[in-house]
Amino acid sequence: MSDRFILLVRHGEVQGGGRFRGGHDDPLTATGWAQMRTALSREQGLDRILSSPALRCAAFARVLAGERGLSLELSSDFGERRFGDWEGLAAHQIPAEELARFWAVPAGYDPPRAEPFADFRQRVLAGWRALMGASDERTLVLTHGGVIRVILAEVLGMGDPSGILIEVPHACLTRLRVPPSPGRPSCLSHGVERLA
């Protein structure tokens, strides 16, 4: 059995700017669509496409699946964390002391009425384990920054609080290699694709 590859891509720029979007279903901007096209322009030979159900991921995933002749599976396991009372708010709209607590201990402080971090992590890792058990050689997952941080922290053996330190800009492409058992997954690359 040969190595498998899993590509994680964060959605592009979203209408409404930077905010704790969570379950808010805002679409990509024209720039966001262009960012996604650039990020995936060199990725050929995909066998499977999975996507968060959120419009900012799924709309592009549907178009890409149609262009590549692939089926698309929407998976709530790869949906963004729900931020409760912070949904739709920009950082400057959140009380400074609450935001400071969140950044200081992101795995230990849950915004009011938010999906608890432990539940979010458990949900994402259930999706990750299912993905690890699949047989597709090259799988693309269109998802969110928080999801990618959780998966990378797991692959790299980082503690939960350290995952927040991983930068995941719009249209960030993360390539993971999954060797046959008993090998462990590894990160081949992580960042934004820049084409000349």
What's the confidence (pLDDT) of residue 105? Answer: 78
Show the low-confidence residues of the chain (pLDDT under 50): 195-196
Which tens digits make up the pLDDT trace of 93-104?
Answer: 999 988 888 888
Domains of the chain: 4-192 (3.40.50.1240)
pLDDT of residue 194: 57
CB count in 10 Å sphere of residue 25: 12
pLDDT digits (tens, 9 = 90+) for 1-36: 689 999 999 999 998 888 888 878 889 999 999 999
pLDDT recorded at residue 175: 95
CB of 22 closer than 8 Å to CB of 82 = yes
DSSP the chain: ---EEEEEEE---BTT-SSB-TT--PPBPHHHHHHHHHHHTT-----EEEE-SSHHHHHHHHHHHHHHT--EEE-GGGSPPP-GGGTTB-GGGS-HHHHHHHHHSTTT---TTPPPHHHHHHHHHHHHHHHHT---SEEEEEE-HHHHHHHHHHHHT--GGGGGGS---TTEEEEEEEPSTT---EEEEEEE----
| Amino acid sitting at position 148 | I
Give me the pLDDT at residue 165, please: 78
Q: What is the pLDDT of residue 196?
A: 41
pLDDT of residue 75: 96
Note the pLDDT of residue 1: 67
Angle at which helices 117-132 and 145-156 cross, to 10°: 70
Question: Are the C-beta atoms of 157 and 163 separated by less than 8 Å?
Answer: no
The per-residue pLDDT for 106 is 75
Task: Tell me which amino acid residue 174 is.
Answer: T
